[in-house]
Amino acid sequence: MLKNARTKLQSITLEAERLEGLIKAQLQKTGATAATLTTQKIKEAIYGEGLTNYNPETRKTLAVDGTYPQACANGKSGKTVANDLLCICLLATASSSDECVTNSISEGWDTDPIPAIAKLIQKCPAKAGGPLTAAKLHGMISAFASRLRSHKNVASVYQHLGKMSAGGCTGTTGQLCATYTSYFGDNTKGGITSIPWVKKLEEAANIISNSHNAAATTEALKARLRALRVSAWTIYNGNEEAKSAITNTKGNDTQQLQAAAKECNKLKSNKSTCETTGK
């Protein structure tokens, strides 16, 4: 019975150790997958759906038909970060634009604004140190929301980022903006979180949060599994000690009987002595 118990406990211990190793490997794999998916979502937020190689494309990066009136001024900005960056930094007509940078950008919305994206990004501050977290992404979204402005023009209210003058966002100097009116207005609209590139950042933040939650749960399971393995090993060792104690007891009894028999042989003439010792 003890032998069977020992065998089972040993099997449980080894299986627990194997499962613990599998959980650790899966946790590492899950973390790597989450990091990849997060990066993809952020790239799509900047450049457009499916663009994860840092190469913008006119149809996927620019909103509506890719012209300034449609991509910037009609309330439907927000397709990508790059689109909105061009809206507030590039003139509608190609010229020497210095709205966002000291060194002028020659591209305009009437030619091909795509090459200006890399030039503008190069002017952005260096990225902050430390790992990217869900809190940082939510902080970026909050910073964006805090900079949105409302501007009334006759019967319309514009939610915009950038410069609007006299109710106009024409793409000329002093009137460069990205407008988000189509995402606001009544309770059928989603507001900030319905803006396409904001949704992508939210998705990235959720991936990070879910990954961290899964990691915490997995670590807790690993700890419980490790505790069970230790308990099984402790019981296994306890059975070994019990077996050893039983074996020692049997050995002592045998030695006592052997000593008694030897004594009887010496005292064959003394029947009472042998009877007293049980022989």
- Say yes or no: 118 and 85 in one domain: yes
Q: How far apart are CA 40 and CA 37, in angstroms?
A: 5
Q: What is the pTM of this model?
A: 0.74
- Say yes or no: 160 and 237 in one domain: no
- Say yes or no: 117 and 249 in one domain: no
Other beta carbons within 10 angstroms of residue 98's beta carbon come to 13
| Per-residue model confidence as pLDDT tens digits over 212-242 | 888 888 888 778 878 877 877 777 676 554 4
Q: Are 188 and 106 in contact (CB under 8 A)?
A: no
- Say yes or no: 110 and 87 in one domain: yes
- Say yes or no: 82 and 10 in one domain: no
Residue 187 lies in a domain: yes
Percentage of residues of the chain with pLDDT beyond 90: 41
Question: Dihedral sign, CA of 6, 8, 12, 18?
Answer: positive
Residue 52 lies in a domain: yes
Q: Which of 188, 212, 236 is the last residue of a domain?
A: 212
- Say yes or no: 125 and 262 in one domain: no
- Say yes or no: 146 and 251 in one domain: no
Residue range of the domain that includes 18: 2-31+219-266
Number of domain units in the chain? 2
- Say yes or no: 73 and 179 in one domain: yes
Q: How far apart are CA 182 and CA 256, in angstroms?
A: 99
pLDDT of residue 261: 47
**Angle at the Cα of 82 from the Cα atoms of 80 and 86, rounded to 5 degrees:** 120
Q: Which residues, other chains included, contact 235 with Cβ-Cβ below 8 Å and sequence gap of 6+?
A: 9
Residue 240 lies in a domain: yes
Residue 17 lies in a domain: yes
Residue 112 lies in a domain: yes
Kindly list the distances between the CA atom of residue 212 and the CA atoms of 23, 35, 218, 221, in Å, as whole numbers in the listed order.
Answer: 15, 11, 10, 14
For residue 1, pLDDT beyond 70 = no
- Say yes or no: 169 and 189 in one domain: yes
- DSSP for 34-88? HHHHHHHHHHHHHH-TT--SS---HHHHSSTTSSHIIIIISS---S-HHHHHHHH
Residue 37 lies in a domain: yes
| Per-residue model confidence as pLDDT tens digits over 105-147 | 889 999 899 999 999 998 888 776 788 999 999 999 999 999 9
- Say yes or no: 19 and 123 in one domain: no
